[in-house]
Copies of this chain bind each other. A is one copy, B any other.
Amino acid sequence: MAEKVDLDSIVKRMISEIQSGELVDDNLKLPSEPLLMKHYQITHYALRQALKQMNLMGYVYQVHGVGTFVRHQQTRDSIAIEHETGLSEKMRRIGINLTTKTASQRVIKASEADFLSKTYHFKDDDELIDIKRYRCLDGKPYLMEHSYYRKSLIDNIPMKALYGSLFEYFEESRKTQIGFIDEIIMSTFLPQDAAEFMNLSVNSPSLLINDESYLSNGELLAFSKQYYNYENTKIFVVKKIH
């Protein structure tokens, strides 16, 4: 590898150069790939990686044989699902405004858990850290999160992390790097404690995300249920057909 290219910084440059208008023509068309390669001093491969990321963000689209175009502005009030995201810009922005109102943790046996992972089989006396958090977005009640962490892998979670970002806490402590997360998205009735927190009635709908976090070596670290306030939660996805 001749040199580390740093895709993220190129994506940032492209976005800022698009926004300032110096990269797009009147039809919202970007320069051709050969020109962009010269402009950023990268090869076809690296450029296409960057463009792919911007495609998934819903920021541009490409038309075979015609060109690359900036998309008309998206609804930006939603969480984008980008499979290949490493604590993306959007998450950071959200993370800043995301605060934890109340949180609790205690250690329990696997047999005492309200729910378990579908894929991992626990022994009855495996220890789990049971965490419940009530969180706000921009001050408004946003989600209730009930999660279980495997004590054998983590053993202690400081209160500071509980009231900030657990994700960042794990990323920073080198031994527990998260590799991938499975998410199952559903709609269901809002449970009572979440309803009280959100000032909604018990029979309100709720977006439920059931997730399982795995370390980069494939071991299951944690699993959780997250009940989102249906009034202010939107998930955005771009599907590309080919």
Chain A interface (Cβ < 8 Å from any Cβ of B) = 56, 58, 61, 63-64, 66, 69, 72-75, 78, 81, 83-87, 118-120, 177-189, 203-208, 214, 216-218, 228, 230, 233-242
Contacts and interface: CB of A to CB of B under 8 A. Distances in A.
Contacts of A87: 241
Q: 7 closest Cβ contacts across the A-B interface? A: A205-B205, A187-B207, A187-B187, A185-B235, A187-B230, A181-B239, A183-B237
Nearest to A240: B180
A223 to B, nearest CB: 12
A24 to B, nearest CB: 14
A224 B203 CA distance: 26
B239 A83 contact: yes
Contact of A83 (B119, B183, B240): B240
A186 to B, nearest CB: 5
A241 B182 contact: no
Number of this chain's copies in the complex: 2
B218 A184 contact: no
B205 A189 contact: yes
A4 to B, nearest CB: 14
Contacts of A64: 216
Contact of A58 (B73, B182, B205): B182
Given A86-B242, A179-B240, A180-B239, A188 B205 contact: yes
Nearest to A215: B63
Contact of A184 (B182, B205, B235): B235
A230 B119 contact: no
A166 B121 CA distance: 42
A9 to B, nearest CB: 15
Contacts of A237: 81, 83, 182-185
A233 B61 contact: no
A183 B188 CA distance: 20
Contacts of A81: 81, 237, 239
B61 A214 contact: yes
Nearest to A237: B183
